[in-house]
């Protein structure tokens, strides 16, 4: 175990905090409120078009911090490894994780490694925690959503889930679909630096856009109405979903978010967003409305392409398992 930790993780994740070899990292207190998050990654397969479990673990944790307006600084990494895992596979994941962390400007400052018996795991599970700092006077949260807010999504939907599914099931779709996995902290920081007043942010991971909107509608006690014609979905993803019987509004993303903000801020926000490659396809898709009666509690309404309305409800089960 000591050889494994030294030869793989310490060498690949090398930084001054790890080199102390203590039971915890000693960090200088930052200026500003802290954001703290944790997540676990059990994706299958480990490698997919556009990413892998290592880079995904870094991006996903950074994005959770960014949704509070926080700038990420430190990550932890816990690895649960199955007996028999090829060392080259572990090294490939660790190198990808280290590269993603360096690119994002964060440090992996502490971690843990456990090995379970063969057949008791699935190659690699990764748990991460992240610490970031929220700028002064920034308070982004679901209960700040207000009636008449506009709803912006940062790009086309569904590519991550379809990319993972295509590899897992040995399927091939036109358009070379790749995961949208990417860090979002720089996009959010630019919005805040531009003075855009953001009421709420949510990354569109498991359950996709539809699940995120339902969760936020319930948390804010509002009704959300979105227009299907404005929601960007690539022809490749749409075609794959039609073949597989999936709804792209429920398919997971790893580099997309939804934003709620006053109508007067929309143009300025879109100008900032579209300067970033990851958010170039940002679009205003709908609005927040007052929920007038609990007896007619339909939190998310989709205005369809044919001019009708339908309820966009939560899934009763998991549409695509283990995609993050």
Q: Domains along the chain?
A: 2-133 (3.30.1330.10), 142-311 (3.90.650.10)
For position 29, what pLDDT does the model report? 77
Spatial CA neighbour of 140 closest among 74, 108, 185:
185
Give the mean model confidence (pLDDT) for residues 52-64.
98
Q: How far is CA 300 from the centre of its chain?
A: 21
What are the pLDDT digits (tens) for 232-251?
999 999 999 998 888 999 99
DSSP secondary structure letters along 158-175:
-HHHHHHHHHHTT---TT
CA distance 324 to 303: 29
CA distance 144 to 261: 9
For position 295, what pLDDT does the model report? 53
User: What backbone phi and psi angles, to 5 degrees, belong to 110?
Assistant: -160, 165
CA dihedral of 251, 50, 80, 211, whole degrees rounded to 10: -20
Confidence of residue 109 (pLDDT cuts 50, 70, 90): very high
CA distance 259 to 268: 13
Confidence of residue 298 (pLDDT cuts 50, 70, 90): confident
CA distances from 182 to 68, 167, 278 (A): 17, 19, 7
CA distance 207 to 213: 10
For position 292, what pLDDT does the model report? 76
SS (H, E, C) 51-87: EEHHHHHHHHHHHHHHCCCCEEEEEEEEEEEECCCCH
What are the pLDDT digits (tens) for 167-214?
888 887 877 899 999 999 999 999 999 999 999 999 999 899 999 999
Is residue 254 packed enough to be buried (19+ CB in 10 Å), middle (13-18) or exposed (0-12)? buried
For position 296, what pLDDT does the model report? 60
Give the mean model confidence (pLDDT) for residues 266-294.
93
Average pLDDT, whole number, for the chain?
93
What does pTM read for this prediction?
Answer: 0.93
Give the mean model confidence (pLDDT) for residues 251-277.
97
Contact indicator for 321, 246 with CB cutoff of 8 Å: no
For position 206, what pLDDT does the model report? 87
User: Does residue 276 register a pLDDT over 90?
Assistant: yes
For position 84, what pLDDT does the model report? 95
For position 321, what pLDDT does the model report? 66
CA distance 231 to 155: 9
Contact indicator for 261, 198 with CB cutoff of 8 Å: yes
Q: Please identify which residue in the block is written with the tokens 């912006």.
A: 152
For position 318, what pLDDT does the model report? 65
Query: What's the first-to-final CA gap in the chain, in angstroms?
Result: 27
Beta strand ranges found along the chain (DSSP E) = 34-41, 47-48, 51-52, 71-82, 107-116, 124-133, 150-153, 200-203, 222-227, 257-261, 283-290, 300-303, 309-311
């Amino acid at each position: 175990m000591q050889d494994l930790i030294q030869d793989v993780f310490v060498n690949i994740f090398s930084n001054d905090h790890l080199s102390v070899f203590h039971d915890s990292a000693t960090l200088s207190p930052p200026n500003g409120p802290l954001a703290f998050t944790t997540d676990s990654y059990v994706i299958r397969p480990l490698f997919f078009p556009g990413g892998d479990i290592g880079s995904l673990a870094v991006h996903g944790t950074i994005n959770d911090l960014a949704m509070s307006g926080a700038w990420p600084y430190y990550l932890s990494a816990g690895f649960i490894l199955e007996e028999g895992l090829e060392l080259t596979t572990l090294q490939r994941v660790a190198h990808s994780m280290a590269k993603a962390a360096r690119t994002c400007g964060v440090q992996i400052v502490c971690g843990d490694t456990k090995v379970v018996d063969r057949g008791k795991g699935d190659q690699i599970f990764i748990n991460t925690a992240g610490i970031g700092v929220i700028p002064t006077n920034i308070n982004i949260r679901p209960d700040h959503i207000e009636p008449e807010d506009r709803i912006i999504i940062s790009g086309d939907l569904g590519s991550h889930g379809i990319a993972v599914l295509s590899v897992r099931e040995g399927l091939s779709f036109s358009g070379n679909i790749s995961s949208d996995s990417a860090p979002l902290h720089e996009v959010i920081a630019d919005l805040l630096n531009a003075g855009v007043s953001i009421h709420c942010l949510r990354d569109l991971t498991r359950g996709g856009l539809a699940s995120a909107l339902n969760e936020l509608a319930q948390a804010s006690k509002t009704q959300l109405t979105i227009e299907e014609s404005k929601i960007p979905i690539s022809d490749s993803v749409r075609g794959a979903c039609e073949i597989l019987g999936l709804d792209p509004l429920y398919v997971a993303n790893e580099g997309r978010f939804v934003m709620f903000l006053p109508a007067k801020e929309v143009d300025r926000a879109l100008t900032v967003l579209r300067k970033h490659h990851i958010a170039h396809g940002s679009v205003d898709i709908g609005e927040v409305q007052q929920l007038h009666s609990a007896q007619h509690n339909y939190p998310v309404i989709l205005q369809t392409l044919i001019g009708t309305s339908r309820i966009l409800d939560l899934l009763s089960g998991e549409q695509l398992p283990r995609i993050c």
